[in-house]
Amino acid sequence: GQQVMQIPQYQHVQEGEDFTTYCNSSTTLSNIQWYKQRPGGHPVFLIQLVKSGEVKKQKRLTFQFGEAKKNSSLHITATQTTDVGTYFCAGWGGTGNQFYFGTGTSLTVIP
Amino acid sequence: GAVVSQHPSWVICKSGTSVKIECRSLDFQATTMFWYRQFPKQSLMLMATSNEGSKATYEQGVEKDKFLINHASLTLSTLTVTSAHPEDSSFYICSAVPNPIYEQYFGPGTRLTVT
């Protein structure tokens, strides 16, 4: 079954509001990666976190890797219409060091 | 930046025929390439991991005799869907990495429709 779950599955926000997606893994991950997929497009790499408790920022985006390396979050401040898309977390982990893609959170920004 | 191409971008084939999809890393050598399948509004499902010069590693539930993967060079991997059926219709995406722990660079995907 699915090893990496994301919540919420869908999120609609007014432009200018903040947005957060949470990523939870059933297994410890050696790293966490975040991707963005625009409608009709392919996933594009955003960032990678490796260290426990690591926090990284990219302009309005803040990424966090949990202390136990089993969860992560992506927070977008003051959303814009260009933020529309599905955000996936992904990472390597498990006994066989497999690669897991999260279930994704689809973000809609209402202008 | 790293660019990955896929060919064809879309294909329609008849049930029972085979289809080959190519994935190329254009400006870097990919030690590993991944093949995913994505259904509408769903996440990516990893099908197999392919390393240059060795047999692909298939995920549980993926038929290796149906989805043939060949990674003949550091810049090319192919996925052949053999004896395709309508239920194989999907969006197939490949990704390539210069090193397994690095980020993945995704191809634009191939939309397969089996009639």
The mean of the pLDDT values for chain B is 91
The DSSP string of B12-44 is: EE-TT--EEEEEEESSS--SEEEEEEE-TTS-E
Q: CB of A59 within 8 Å of any CB in chain B?
A: no
Distance CA B110, CA B54 (A): 24
Give the pLDDT confidence of B32-76 residue by residue, as tens digits.
899 999 988 888 888 999 988 888 999 888 999 999 999 888 999
The answer to whether A91 and A6 are in contact (CB under 8 A) is no
Q: CA-based angle B36:B41:B45, to the nearest 5?
A: 20
Beta bridge partners of A49: A32
Q: What is the mean pLDDT of residues A60-77?
A: 97
Give the pLDDT confidence of A24-56 residue by residue, as tens digits.
999 999 999 999 999 889 999 999 999 999 999
**Predicted local confidence at residue A94, as pLDDT:** 75
CB within 8 Å: B43 and A101: yes
CB within 8 Å: A99 and B43: no
Contacts of A2 in chain B (CB under 8 A): 43
pLDDT greater than 60 at residue A2: no
Nearest chain B alpha carbon to A104: B43
